[in-house]
Amino acid sequence: MVHHIVLWNLREDLSEQERKEASLEIKRRLEAVADTVEGVVSLQVVINEMDSSNKDIALISRFEAEEALKAYQVSPAHVEAGGYVRSVTTKRSCFDFKE
């Protein structure tokens, strides 16, 4: 099992309404990718609602194997979603590990 965790902050120049819309769009786009790639065990996008956090969006996902993670990363749906994510976020952090 491979875990893939990614955290982002939304761009500071976005208005509060734009931040809400971008968060929901990131969630919609990334969660839709899970249905297009074989080997995805789970994939969840969480929008921060707590002041104690220093990141705005989290992607928490699990894959059957490292090959499935690699297939997810290069899949057309993920590449397209990633383009949108990069346009509205900054300060990306990623942590992958095997269980």
Q: Assign residue 81 the CATH number of its domain.
A: 3.30.70.100
| Beta-bridge partners for 97 | 3
Q: Which two tokens stand for residue 41?
A: 């065990």
What's the structural domain count of the chain? 1
Q: What is the residue type of 21?
A: E
Provide the pLDDT for residue 10. Answer: 98
Residues 6 or more apart in contact with residue 83 via CB below 8 angstroms:
none
Range of the domain at 23: 2-98
Provide the pLDDT for residue 1. Answer: 97
Tens digits of pLDDT across the chain (99 residues): 999 999 999 999 999 999 999 999 999 999 999 999 999 999 999 999 999 999 999 999 999 999 999 999 999 999 999 999 999 999 999 999 999
Give strand ranges (E) for the chain: 2-10, 40-47, 57-63, 89-98
